[in-house]
Amino acid sequence: MEKLIITAAICGAEVTKENNPNVPYTVEEIGEEAESAYRAGASIIHLHVRYDDGTPTQDKERFRECMEEIRRRCPDVIIQPSTGGAVGMTDEERLQPVELFPEMATLDCGTLNFGGDEIFINTENTIKNFAKVMNEKGVKPEIEVFDKGMVDLAVRYHKQGYISAPMHFDFVMGVQMDATVRDLSYISRSIPEGSTWTVAGVGRHQIPMAVVGIIMGGHARVGFEDNVYISKGVLAKSNGELVEKVVRIAKEIGREIATPEEARKILRIKYKG
C-alpha cells in the first residue's frame, strides 16, 4: 500500500475564532498553523487566506504573503491554494492564487448546496476555464467532489482534454454526500484506474472517514476548515494536533506517512521550489 499523504486544511473560509480561538487569520498565524501541521506529518497544506479581521479573501497578494511565510517555515511542503474561495465570489476572484504558479490547486467539479440559501456555483464553463488556466500554468488540480455526479463530470472533461491524467480527487463527505463507508467505497471505485484520492470528512465525520480512507488505501485530509474538535466537545489546540491523531492511527494500522517528496512522486507533480 502507498504511503499515506496527509493534507491539512488549516483555516477554510467559513470557520471563525468564535468556533475555535486557534483558527488562524493573520499571516503569522497561518504560518504557525501550517508549520504545526507539517511538523506533525502533513505533506500538503490546503490553503484559504483571511484578512487580519478574519474576512476570507482570494486576493493574490494576500496569498503571496501567506505562501511565502509557509515556505519560510516549511520549505518543502506542498501548498495547495483553494480556488473555491467563499460563496458569492466571482470566478476572477477565485482564480487569483493560480497566478502564483502553485504546485496544486483545487478544482470544484460541480454546483452544490452548502446549507440554507447558500449555493456554491460552478458552471460547466467555470470548470473548463479553471482547468484550462491550471493546465497553462502547470498546476495540478485536486478535483473536489461532493457527490457522484462530480466524478462523472471530471471524467467527461478529462476525455475532452481539459483535465490531464493521472487525476487526483478529494471526496468531501458529510456536506452533500453522506459520510458512510458505503458512499466512500462506491465513489472511490468510480474514478479512473491510475487516479489517486483523498477523503475529507466534515465535522464529527473527519476522523472516522480518515480511518476508513487509510484502510482502503486512499489518503486523508484533516484540519480546522472541516472540523475544530480533537474529540467530542474538546476543541483542538492546533491543526498539528489533528494531524498527530491521524498519524497515530495510521501507524497503528501499519500505514507509513509520506513526506512531501514522496507525496510528489505519488501524485506525479514536480517540485517548484
* Secondary structure tally for the chain: helices H, strands E: 9, 14
Per residue in 79-116, pLDDT tens?
999 999 888 899 999 999 999 999 999 999 999 988 78
Q: Which residue has the cell 512522486?
A: 265
In a domain, 66, yes or no: yes
In a domain, 169, yes or no: yes
In a domain, 167, yes or no: yes
Tell me the residue length of the chain: 273
Report pLDDT for 50: 97
Report pLDDT for 272: 73
Report pLDDT for 75: 97
Report pLDDT for 165: 95
pTM over 0.85: yes
User: CA triplet 119, 218, 254: central angle to 5 degrees?
Assistant: 140
Phi, psi (deg, nearest 5) at residue 180: -130, 160
In a domain, 249, yes or no: yes
Report pLDDT for 193: 95
Report pLDDT for 196: 98
The CATH number linked to 45 is 3.20.20.70
pLDDT of residue 199 exceeding 90, the answer is yes
Per residue in 223-243, pLDDT tens?
999 999 999 999 999 999 999
Report pLDDT for 267: 98
The structural domain count of the chain equals 1
In a domain, 193, yes or no: yes
Residue pair 218/257 in contact (Cβ under 8 Å)? The answer is: no
Report pLDDT for 86: 84
pLDDT of residue 270 exceeding 90, the answer is no
Helix (H, G, I), strand (E, B) or coil at 220: strand
Provide the pLDDT confidence category of residue 67 given band limits of 50, 70 and 90: very high
- Which residues make beta-bridge pairs with 8? 45, 222
In a domain, 273, yes or no: no
Q: What is the mean pLDDT of residues 114-141?
A: 94
How many CB atoms neighbour CB 76 within 10 A?
A: 14
Report pLDDT for 116: 84
In a domain, 91, yes or no: yes
pLDDT of residue 273 exceeding 80, the answer is no
Q: What is the mean pLDDT of residues 249-266?
A: 97
Per residue in 4-39, pLDDT tens?
999 999 999 999 999 999 999 999 999 999 999 999
Report pLDDT for 88: 87
Range of the domain at 88: 4-265
Closest CA to 203 of 20, 69, 57: 20
Q: Which three cell numbers stand for residue 90?
A: 466571482
**Bridge pairing between strands 219-222 and 196-201:** parallel
What residue type is assigned to position 206 of the chain?
A: Q
In a domain, 92, yes or no: yes
